[in-house]
Structure 1
Amino acid sequence: MRIAVTGSIATDHLMVFPGRFTDQLIPDRLARVSLSFLVDDLEVRRGGVAANIAYGLGGLGLDPLLVGAVGDDFAEYEVWLKAHGVDTGAVQVSARRATARFMCITDEDANQIASFYAGAMQEARDIDLRRVLDGRPRPDLVLVGPNDPEAMLRHTRQCRDLGLPFAADPSQQLARLDGPQVRDLVTGAHWLFTNDYEAALLLERTDWTREEVLDRVGTWVTTLGGEGVRVDRADLPPLTVAAVPDAPVTDPTGVGDAFRAGFLAALGHGLPLAAAARLGCTVAATALSTVGSQSYRIDREHLLATAAHAYGTHAAHELAPALDGTP
C-alpha cells in the first residue's frame, strides 16, 4: 500500500513543567489569564504531524511519500527521514521562511499547552498534487493532515477531482477552521481521524450529529488516550479496542501520529480493523515511552511482545505479517 502523507513538518521544542496546570488556574479569573511556567527540561526534536506519521510508516516498511513545505534548514532532517524509509522527493523547500516550530509544555498529568509557528508551512498551499504525482506511482491513499488551512482544502479537493481515496486528519487545525471548511475536509473521506476532544469539536464546528458525519465518511477512528480507540461506521455497532495497559508515560507528544502509522500500516498489509487498531495502540504505547515524536524504534520482537501482553498471543500472531518487513 502506497500512502502519500500531506501536512506539517516541524521542529518540536518540548518542555516539562513539574506541577499541574490546573493548580495555577483561578476559577473566577479565567477571563484574564497571564501565566509563565518555569520548566525543568527542554528537548528539541524532529516533528510535525505528517513527518511523524511518515516516520512510523517508513519504519513499518510502507515507503510513504511525504508532501509538505519546509525551510532551507531541512537538510539534516531530510537525511534522517530518508534513513527511516521516507520518500522526501515531494517536500517543497522555501527560499524565504524557516521550517515550522512546535512549542509545547507538558505537566505531570500529561496535560499540554502548545503553540505552533507555521513558517514555511504557509507555502504548502502552493503544492499541486497533480504535479507531485506526475511520474510517480498513484498512491492508494492520501492522508490530509494538519497543515496550512488552504493547503488542506486544496489537497482534499484535488483528491476528489483525481479520484484518490483520502483520509481526513484535521487534528489541531480544527481550532482554526470554520464550519464550512471542516465540512469540506470531511465529506467523502474514506477515513476520518480525531481524538475524543477533536471529535466533539468537529461536531460543534460542522453542526452535524455523529450519524450525519458517518453518512459522509467511510470510517471514523477516534483515539481515546488511555481508554484506547473507538472505530465507528454507519449502521454498524462501534468497535472498541483497549489501550496497551501499564504503558510507561514519558512524553505524549506525537503518540496519536504513531497510532495512525500503526493503524494504516496494518490496513496496508490487509489486516482487519480490530487488528489495525491493536497495532496502532501498540506503536502508540512504544512512542509514549520516549521523548519526542520520532525517538521510538520500530522493533518487531518488542512490538509483538507488547501486543501479546496487551491482547494475547493470538492477537500478536495476527499482527506478525504486518511486521515482517521491520527489523
Structure 2
Amino acid sequence: MASLICGSIAYDTIMNFEGKFADQILPEQIHILNVAFLVPTMRREFGGCAGNIAYNLSLLGGDPIIMATVGGDATPYLNHLEQLKIDASHIRQIDNAFTAQAMITTDQTNNQITAFHPGAMSESHLNQVAAVVAERDTNTKDPVKFGIVAPDGRQGMWEHCHQLADANIPFIFDPGQGLPMFDGPELLELVDIASYLAVNDYEGEMLSQRTGLSLAKVAERVKALIVTKGAEGTDVYVGGKVIAIPPVPASKVVDPTGCGDAFRGGLLFGLENGMDWETTGRLASLMGSIKITHQGPQNHQLSKDEIAAQFKAAFNFSF
C-alpha cells in the first residue's frame, strides 16, 4: 500500500547552545531583543517534514511517495533518497531556487529557535495529486491509498488537501508550523475535508483560538484528532472519547529535531495497516522515542524487526 507524503524537503543546519535560552532573554527587554548564542557544534542534515515522515514510514516497511519541490542544490538529498529506495519521482526540482533551509538552535533543555527559508517549497502548488495517481496506475505500481499533508507552501497545502479529498484518498491534515498561515474559517474547511488531524499541544491551542472551538468539538469533524504532548504522551480524540497514549521513555535524549515527523511515520503505518488506536498510538510514540536518541532527523537506522522488538519490550505485545 502506497502513501503520498505532501510536504517539505529541507536541509537542516542544526546547532547546539550549551546554555538555556531562558537565561539569555530578558522578558522586560523583549521589545528591544538583541541576543546572540555561541554554538560550538554545527552540522547539516537531511530534513523537511515530507522527507522525515517518508524516512520513518520506510523503516517500518511502508511505501512512501514524496511529493515536494526542491532547489538546484538538492542533488545530495535526491541521491540520499535513491539510496534509501524511497520514491522521489514526484519531487520537482526548481533550478533557480534554494531547497528549503531550516537553521535550528537547540539549548540544553531541548528548547529550539528556528529560522526557516522556504525557497523552492513556495512553489509546491505546482505539484498535482492527480499526476501521482495517474503515474502509479499507468505503471501498475501500488495505488495511492493514503496521504498526509504536512507543512509546505501555503497554496500547496491548501490545494493538496482539496486534491486528495477530490480523489477520495483518506489523508491526515498535519498543519504543524504552517498552521499560522491559515485563519479560522480556512482551517475548518481543511479539517472538514480531512480524514484525520494531527497537531502538538501548542498547535492544538492555537487551532482552538483561531476556530473558536474546543479540541473536542474539532474532533467531531474528523475520524480522529491526534494531539501529541511530548514527554507526556499523546491524546487521541475518537468516537467521543479520548484515548491516552503513554510516552515511551527514551534511553537518552540527544536531539528532538524530527521527533514529530517520526511519530507521524508510525501513525501512517498504523492507519495503513488497520491497527487500533491503542496500537497505532504506541507505535507512533515509539518512533518518536527512537528518533530522539539520535542526532538529526534521519540517522536512526533500525530494521522493522528491531523496531518490533523494541515495541514488544515497551508494551508487552506485538504490532
- TM category (shorter chain) comes to over 0.9
Alignment of 1:264 onto 2:260: no
Q: What's the CA shift string for 1:138-172, capped at 9, x where partnerless? A: 41112011000010001111122222211100001
Tell me what 2:64 maps to.
Answer: 64
How many Å apart are 1:133 and its aligned residue? Answer: 2.0
Q: Which residue of the partner structure matches residue 240 of structure 1?
A: 244
Residue pairs, 1:25-36, within 5 angstroms: 25-36=25-36
SS state at 2:4 partner? strand
Equivalent residue of 2:299, what SS? coil
Distance 2:276 2:17 in 1: 40
Following TM superposition, by how much is the alpha carbon of 1:9 offset from its aligned partner in structure 2, in angstroms?
Answer: 0.3
Q: Which residue of 2 aligns with 1:82?
A: 82
Q: Does 1:146 align with 2:151?
A: yes
- Count of residue pairs brought into register by the alignment: 314
- Structure 2 residue 300 is matched with structure 1 residue 296: yes
Q: What are the ranges of 5 or more consecutive residues in structure 2 without an aligned counterpart?
A: 138-142
Deviates further, 1-10 or 211-220 = 211-220
Is 1:95 the counterpart of 2:95 in the alignment?
yes
Deviations 1:26-59 (A, max 9, x none): 2222223211111121010000001100111112
Q: Distance in 1 between matches of 2:13 and 2:183?
A: 28
Aligned match of 2:140: none
| Cα distance, 1:105 vs structure 2 | 0.4
Q: Secondary structure at the match of 1:251?
A: coil
Q: Distance in 1 between matches of 2:95 and 2:176?
A: 28
Q: TM-score, normalised by structure 1?
A: 0.92
Q: Distance in 1 between matches of 2:256 and 2:15?
A: 12
Note if contact 2:60-2:304 (Cα within 8 Å) is conserved in structure 1: no
CA distance in 2, matches of 1:260, 1:115: 23
Looking at structure 2, the residues matched to 166 and 159 of structure 1 have their Cα atoms a distance apart, in angstroms, of: 7
Q: CA deviation at 1:174?
A: 1.3
CA distance in 2, matches of 1:189, 1:238: 19
Matches of 1:179 and 1:196 in 2, distance apart? 17
Structure 1 residues 246 and 53, CA gap change in structure 2 (3 angstroms): closer
Residue 43 of structure 2 aligns to a residue in which SS?
strand
Residues of 1 paired with 2:227 and 2:135: CA distance?
Answer: 35
| Residue 180 in structure 1 maps to residue 185 in structure 2 | yes
1:114 is matched with: 114
Q: What is the CA-CA distance between 1:250 and the residue it aligns to?
A: 0.3
Note the residue ranges of structure 1 that are not aligned, 5 or more in a row: 320-327
Q: Is the 8 A contact 1:192 1:217 kept in 2?
A: yes
**1:198 lines up with 2:203 in the alignment:** yes
Separation in 1, partners of 2:279, 2:296: 26
3-state SS, counterpart of residue 146 of structure 1: coil
Provide the residue aligned with 2:136 in structure 1.
Answer: 136
Contact in 2 for aligned 1:219/1:231 (Cα 8 Å): yes
1:10 is the counterpart of 2:10: yes
Q: 3-state DSSP class of the match of 1:136?
A: helix
Q: Pick closer, same or farther for the CA change 1:140–1:195 going to 2, 3 Å.
A: same
- What amino acid maps onto 2:176 in structure 1? S
1:223 to 208, 214, 228: 228
Q: 1:324 — aligned with what?
A: none
Q: 1:144 to 1:246 in 2, by over 3 A?
A: closer
Rounded to whole Å, the distance in 2 between the matches of 1:283 and 1:207 is 32
Q: State the 1:179 CA deviation.
A: 2.1
Partner-residue secondary structure (3-state), 2:135 = coil
